Copies of this chain bind each other. A is one copy, B any other.
Amino acid sequence: MSDATGSSVNQLAVENVQLVDVVTQQLESMLAVGNYDAVKRLLEPVQPVDIAESIGNLPTNLQAIAFRLLGKNEAISVYEYLDTATQQSLLTRLRSEEMREVVEEMSPDDRAQLFDELPAKVVRQLLSELSPDERKVTAELLGYEAETAGRLMTTEYIDLKQAQTAAVALEIVRRRARDTETIYSLYVTDAGRRLTGILSLRDLVTADPSARISDVMTADVLSVSTDTDQEKVARTIQRYDFLAVPVVDLEKRLVGIVTVDDVIDVIEQEATRDLYAAGAVQAGDEDDYFTSNLFTVARRRVVWLAILVVASFFTSEVIAANEEVLRRVVLLAAFIPLLGGTGGNVGAQSSTVVIRGLSTQSISALGPIKAVGREVLAGALLGILMMVLVVPFAWWRGESALVGLSVGFSLLAITTLAATAGAGFPLLFDRMGLDPALMSTPFITTCTDVAGTLIYLKIADWLLTNLPQLQQVGGISTHFLPFAVS
């Protein structure tokens, strides 16, 4: 392997997009002419995740050939990164003996995830081929609910005993280093497998070789349960800058650990979910929007759209019911979208910051009552600022003080209301134990629209009935002191 190629591959790796394209292209042409040595040389400096993506891009008939050219350890790493479709196709295309070995050696958590998506028949077949130990572990992981620590954890960790010396423990770490996911966090358990302490490999290598583990370890262990929500697990690792967190069952026995690499994916997934909720798109199981077909795309969007359209029917009803006011002052109609839009935007702003604040827990220091209070004040303040901009325009374009004043008063009411609803609903949902992102931004926007339109037309109606002379007061461009000339 020339140094030049190695460094150029790694330069591309940071950009990642072109790297996969380049590797896929070269891989395909090398495989087409059967130049297998070149394939091996090509893939040597490439990271497993990039190899997996390149193999996934190959025509199906070449995937199995490329996969077979990998060394055994690399094959296992690459297989874990492949998308489910390619994983399944390789399972059927390669000899079952070869694949049994790969599946046997996969991390238990990655294997459980694969089994979760395979047809039941294939899972039964594969399970029966696993060694009893691996079979037990996989069945156990599959027994935990999705999106919990139990499902996310790996059962491969190193556990030590309090009475061992640092030297003995280091020897255990050495021996088990190859087949555990991490050797950097070490766990101490008692005879009943209960977790009694943790230490890092850093603690171990710096300890006096003759020191007892009980003297080196930290006894105050922070652990999560098998049923802890994955988001809470992620927040724990993030907050405390851990590399891993131990998972215990109801009897406080250590059953697994969750590592930081899985947690990054959870944080990303939760952010996508929040964003999709803000955009009225239903989140999929994975971040697979751009690989799913058009009907899946439509299905993930049509439900929210339909709900929002039906909610809009109420706005239409409000306008139709107040047809008379509009008939008398047609130009009032010109500002319905502006008011609805501004209310919607203020509501969207408030719900965005509150939903994100709940996700990142930055809102917790303030408390829900104060948070809503702040948003109400912010809404009113923004309403006043917008009035300065909007009232002169409405007065002039609506060709009367009636339109200008109706727009002005309702603008203030709408922004205040929108901020209240935008902050209040997600917090209420959170209190009720529901996902605050369910109270999605577009839903708040649409509700604000109904209420805002009603307020606007009622204010206009009241002004028209009680101060009809306002209608005669022309645009601001002709009368700077409109009340004086009425």
Q: Which residues of A contact B (CB under 8 A)?
A: 1, 3, 6-7, 9-10, 13-17, 44-45, 47, 49, 57, 170, 173-174, 177-178, 183-184, 201-202, 205-206, 219-224, 228, 232, 235-241, 243, 260-261, 263-265, 267-268, 271-272, 274-276, 278-281, 287-291, 294, 297-298, 301-302, 304-306, 308-310, 312-313, 315-317, 319-320, 323, 326-327, 330-331, 333-338, 340-342, 344-346, 348-349, 351-353, 355-357, 360-366, 371, 374, 377-378, 381-382, 385-386, 389-390, 393-394, 397-398, 441-442, 445-446, 449, 453
* Complex partner residue of A17 from B177, B183, B309, B364, CB under 8 angstroms: B364
A16 contact set on B, CB distance < 8 A: 235-236, 239, 361
What 8 A-B pairs come out closest when comparing CB atoms? A279-B352, A271-B271, A45-B220, A312-B338, A319-B334, A241-B261, A333-B333, A6-B220
Q: How far is the CA of A261 from the CA of B238 in the complex (A)?
A: 7
A327 contact set on B, CB distance < 8 A: 330
Q: Least Cβ distance of A367 to chain B in Å?
A: 10
Q: How far is the CA of A394 from the CA of B21 in the complex (A)?
A: 50
Residue in chain B with minimal CB distance to A342: B309
* Complex partner residue of A302 from B223, B264, B338, B385, CB under 8 angstroms: B385
Q: How far is the CA of A174 from the CA of B166 in the complex (A)?
A: 13
A310 contact set on B, CB distance < 8 A: 389
A sample of 24 inter-chain contacts (CB < 8 A) reads A7-B220, A9-B220, A13-B240, A14-B222, A16-B239, A184-B243, A201-B201, A205-B205, A237-B264, A238-B261, A238-B265, A267-B271, A276-B356, A281-B353, A287-B356, A289-B353, A294-B378, A298-B385, A305-B349, A305-B385, A306-B389, A308-B341, A316-B338, A319-B334
Contact B353 A49 (CB under 8 A): no
Q: Least Cβ distance of A289 to chain B in Å?
A: 5
A333 contact set on B, CB distance < 8 A: 319, 326, 333, 336
Copies per complex?
2
Q: Least Cβ distance of A459 to chain B in Å?
A: 17
A174 contact set on B, CB distance < 8 A: 205-206
Q: How far is the CA of A281 from the CA of B375 in the complex (A)?
A: 13
Residue in chain B with minimal CB distance to A333: B333
Q: How far is the CA of A253 from the CA of B261 in the complex (A)?
A: 28
Q: Least Cβ distance of A261 to chain B in Å?
A: 4
Contact B312 A342 (CB under 8 A): yes
A183 contact set on B, CB distance < 8 A: 201-202, 205
13 further A-B pairs in the complex, CB-CB below 8 A; given A10-B221, A49-B241, A290-B371: A49-B240, A184-B202, A238-B265, A243-B243, A267-B268, A276-B356, A278-B352, A279-B353, A298-B378, A312-B338, A315-B334, A326-B326, A327-B330
Q: How far is the CA of A13 from the CA of B221 in the complex (A)?
A: 10
A9 contact set on B, CB distance < 8 A: 220
